[in-house]
Structure 1
Amino acid sequence: MAERMLKFVGTSQAMPDKRPAAERRRDFDEIYSNYAREKAAEQAARCSQCGVPFCQIHCPLQNNIPDWLKLTAEGRLEEAYELSSATNNFPEICGRICPQDRLCEGNCVIEKGFDAVTIGSVEKFITDTAWSQGWVKPIRPRRERPESVGIIGAGPAGLAAAEQLRRKGYQVAVYDRYDRVGGLMIYGIPNFKLEKDIVQRREKLLRDSKVAFHLGCEIGRDVSMEELRQRHGAVLIATGVYKARDIQAPGVGLPGIAAALDYLTAANRSGLGDAVPGIESGALYAEGKNVVVVGGGDTAMDCVRTAVRQGAKSVKCLYRRDRANMPGSQREVKHAEEEGVEFVWLSAPQAFLGKDHVSHVRTVRIHLGMPDASGRQTPQEIPNSHVNIEADLVLKALGFDPENLPEALATPDLGVTSWGTLDIDWRSMMTSVDGVFAAGDIVRGASLVVWAVRDGRDAAERIHSYLTTKALNAQRIAAE
């Protein structure tokens, strides 16, 4: 091992080739190329194989990162893929969209002074190679179980749970109100971060594994929750959170002001070949416009970088804190700056100006005061510091809240927290309704895809325990 690993002293960090900003501004293709096999092995060999791998500890999935880095360095890619996919249902997706600078790579012990191992890029390379070599196979359970599980939501949590349950032999049906599988992975994340065929091949794999999908099916409207409970031995709610947070400011209802997800969904649907009224009318299209995005998370970064590619006249990101306190990936901020996005730090919208359409955002400068209960400095407005920023299209990217699910699902017995998320027993992951479980953003609030995958996997285990216990109790009662 010593001969192949510990190369970080003599080998510098090298990401896969990144296309020049001037070139990538013109299309929605992914910005990084793939590693060559030799380069992936070289970068994997930089791993120090530390005894307490902080990269693994800080990964929500507890991925066996040092182990598959070692296998990659040794050229044992099929084994590396098997190890990587043992803990992660979508390694090639996480390798593309996870904020590695905040998770695994940000906690790499060699980062200080030597730059982190490029974990995400190697993870992507391993699984893309596995797909191209035909190593990724449909699931064939050792034995089929009679029990079935209904999953509401075809996003990352629902799909991860579906795969894990199918591996155990359960009959799995996934219900989603949208017309495609993938949730935010298909409609919320732009192609330059995650090309849609990457998601669609996962869908095909699950279909080939005999997972049934019922698309365009809204629970509470097309099928009742009670009917779903009668069809299935257990039900998992993994709907995610889609309700956009709004801005309380004068003029917020003016035409030309839109929610970030509406804008991103329109762009992604257009890229998939759909006819989108908001694109055709220009209402949700940035070409030739002065675009202002309000917010500082990864959704805001997706918006500004999409607007650049649509040919916006100018793109500004308005954020009330400074760069160091930005919740989005610093890597994404750097990409956006390279592509021509202007960041207006320590600035917040106070009003939206215009008669029949937004024309300016009235902003106020912000000073960061003392930390609040969460430890973050409190934004405070600086008097008489107003600046008007020209805007033809304003996108609100302030995060997401859950819908009123007891009402939407016509299931008033579903318990919710003060945050509006579903209230579950964290040991069993069951809601207040027997046999109905919940996982992902609808439980923890808007979060990362990798956390949704983790929750989906955990929920699958709890559902398995519930159904096997139920079957054993039925056998015992029958025997008596």
Structure 2
Amino acid sequence: MTDPRGFLRIPRRSVPPRPVEARLDDWREVYAGQALLPLVSEQAMRCMDCGVPFCHSGCPLGNLIPEWNAYASRGDWQAAAERLHATNNFPEFTGRLCPAPCEDACVLAINADPVTIKNVEQTIADEAWERGYTPPQPPQRLSGKTVAVIGSGPAGLAAAQQLTRIGHTVVVYERADRIGGLLRYGIPEFKMEKCHLNRRIEQMREEGTKFRTGVDVGTDVDAAELRRRHDAVIVAVGATERRELPVAGRELQGVHQAMDYLTLANRVQEGDYGSPPVTAEGKHAVIIGGGDTASDCLGTVLRQGAVSAVQLDINPEPGEARPDGQPWPVTHPKVYRISHAHEEARGREGTDPRLFSSATLHFEGDAAGHVSALCLTEVEPAARSPLPDTEQVLPAELVLIALGFSGPERGSGLMRQLGLGLDDRGNFARDTGFAATPAVPVAGRAALDGLEGQAARRARTDGVFIAGDAGRGQSLVVWAIAEGRAAAAATDRYLTGSTVLPFPIVSTDRPMVA
């Protein structure tokens, strides 16, 4: 374990980001080059190695946080990397992108500052790559079974890597021109540089995973025929049905869906365009939405040179303390948080760019049909009904709609050809009547023997499994990886009758398979 009194003598210190003025001048990661090993090792010493480590339950992957904290505190990065990769295929992704619900579940969070778990995780992952502790792991023998994975986001990649390493021949189909899903085109470069993604994909290729880009299953390839050609299919297409904003003026030029805008900005970084087809340069930008995608848009418009940037959030401004109705450790609380993009906007404008309890009434346009202003109103927090005499008009020459997603795309060829239905949440329905046999636990994990596999259920279409946001709904990268691992374990059992693949115990109300 770490220093048993470390949490008493060592205050919390997060890894510092690059200065705002420096990072707004480029597209490098906010924390690029900022992982300070002595600082991270010291912070790992604050871990109490609790008798009941609630951080495990706060992490959908069940990461062995106290174990790798102990190794990191001693600078044993190889052992720390082994424990980290025991439950997480891509810790360099989660260490950058996950909002760290594990930190809110840390025992110290009851009445003090939690351990900087996310910083430690990213540092371990990065050190593992730098020191050569993550070599490809090709299978010792092939099973003779083939699996098609549709979608190359974190769920699809996690499932593919698990199944490849166990000896199945896996082909990943991606409709975009590059592998990665939202990791590639939805996450800005300043949040995660794509070299980390490219490195993992190359590792997977060396292990034997095959990739097919530019293939839209259901359109370019008949999904039913794909099912006949493979012994099993995993559907990991994500939740890409975007929520709309049906207000007057939505048709005006300059009003865009956030993901379209982020995709174009990421394609510029990939070298597809010399300059962005849609840019905030010299414009008043307004972002509608309060989540991570809205924050990513905010950071992007600032780097493109927006004259002003405002983010509208229909929710009321949260408080600093955990609300009474969101108890520790089971709830990731809604508290006032500052993302790096908010920090950048505050550094430039001097104020928080967010307007809370605000809803859009309509857009106004100029004679050329381009958006020029946004009319908004304050709303009552509970019912979200407009409050009288609170209307105001904001200048808006670029409007980005970041209201999230309502599930996988409806009525697609993939859905029809595989006979997939929708549940009451609008996600691909999964059969809860089939339980996967629990995996043989790896060393150090809590034994799962005798428990039903709460992570995976067989699809209603035989041999088809659902992973990630397509079945769970819009969620976090850490949930996607957890579901991908769970789907891999269920698929392996379907193909061979048993499995040694470990998988996390995820919530029973959203099972793993279609």
TM-score by length of 2: 0.85
Where do 5+ consecutive residues of structure 2 fail to align? Answer: 320-332, 436-455, 500-514
Equivalent of 2:377 in 360, 364, 381: 364
- How far the C-alpha of 1:112 sits from its partner, in A, is 4.6
* 8 Å contact from structure 2 (residues 284, 398) kept in 1: yes
Equivalent of 2:226 in 225, 228, 240: 228
Give the partner amino acid of 2:423: T
2-structure distance, mates of 1:327, 1:116: 16
CA gap 1:80/1:330 in 2 versus in 1, 3 angstroms: same
Q: Tell me which protein shows more helix as a share of its residues.
A: 1
* 8 Å contact from structure 2 (residues 358, 378) kept in 1: yes
Where do 5+ consecutive residues of structure 1 fail to align? Answer: 370-377, 472-480
Give the partner amino acid of 2:354: F
- How far the C-alpha of 1:424 sits from its partner, in A, is 0.8
2-structure distance, mates of 1:95, 1:307: 24
Give the partner amino acid of 2:427: T
- Per-residue CA shift, 1:377-426, capped at 9, x if unaligned? x3121022210111000000000122115544541622222333111124
Alignment of 1:45-194 (within 5 A): 45-100=45-100, 103-194=101-192
Tell me the residue number matched to 1:416: 422
* 8 Å contact from structure 2 (residues 173, 213) kept in 1: yes
1:292 is the counterpart of 2:286: yes
Give the partner amino acid of 2:290: G
Equivalent of 1:316 in 304, 310, 324: 310
Tell me the residue number matched to 2:483: 455
* 8 Å contact from structure 1 (residues 9, 114) kept in 2: no
Give the partner amino acid of 1:366: V
* 8 Å contact from structure 2 (residues 232, 491) kept in 1: yes
2-structure distance, mates of 1:140, 1:298: 35
- Per-residue CA shift, 1:265-321, capped at 9, x if unaligned? 0001101111278x24xxx20001000000001000000111011100000001111
1:397 is the counterpart of 2:410: no
Tell me the residue number matched to 2:343: 335
Q: Among all aligned residue pairs of Structure 1 and Structure 2, give the percentage whose two residues are the same amino acid.
A: 41
Equivalent of 1:383 in 384, 388, 412: 388
Tell me the residue number matched to 2:326: none
1:204 is the counterpart of 2:210: no
SS of residue in 2 equivalent to 1:202: helix
- How far the C-alpha of 1:183 sits from its partner, in A, is 0.6
* 8 Å contact from structure 1 (residues 150, 234) kept in 2: yes
- How far the C-alpha of 1:55 sits from its partner, in A, is 1.3
SS of residue in 1 equivalent to 2:149: strand
Q: Tell me which protein shows more strand as a share of its residues.
A: 1
Tell me the residue number matched to 1:307: 301
- Per-residue CA shift, 1:114-136, capped at 9, x if unaligned? 41111111111111111011111
Give the partner amino acid of 2:182: L
Give the partner amino acid of 2:36: A
RMSD value, Cα: 2.0
- Per-residue CA shift, 1:56-115, capped at 9, x if unaligned? 111000100011001111222101100000100111110111002xx0112222135541
Give the partner amino acid of 1:324: P
CA gap 1:352/1:66 in 2 versus in 1, 3 angstroms: same
Tell me the residue number matched to 2:248: 250
* 8 Å contact from structure 1 (residues 301, 336) kept in 2: no
Deviates more, 1:42-51 or 1:18-27: 18-27
* 8 Å contact from structure 1 (residues 297, 328) kept in 2: no
1:441 is the counterpart of 2:484: no
- How far the C-alpha of 1:34 sits from its partner, in A, is 3.4
- How far the C-alpha of 1:328 sits from its partner, in A, is 9.6
CA gap 1:391/1:251 in 2 versus in 1, 3 angstroms: same
TM-score by length of 1: 0.91
Tell me the residue number matched to 1:374: none
Deviates more, 1:121-130 or 1:398-407: 398-407
- How far the C-alpha of 1:6 sits from its partner, in A, is 3.3
CA gap 1:316/1:97 in 2 versus in 1, 3 angstroms: same
Give the partner amino acid of 1:261: M
Tell me the residue number matched to 2:362: 351
Tell me the residue number matched to 1:476: none
* 8 Å contact from structure 1 (residues 317, 344) kept in 2: yes
Give the partner amino acid of 1:147: K
SS of residue in 2 equivalent to 1:382: coil
Equivalent of 2:211 in 210, 213, 222: 213
Give the partner amino acid of 2:478: V
SS of residue in 1 equivalent to 2:215: coil
Equivalent of 1:432 in 457, 460, 464: 460
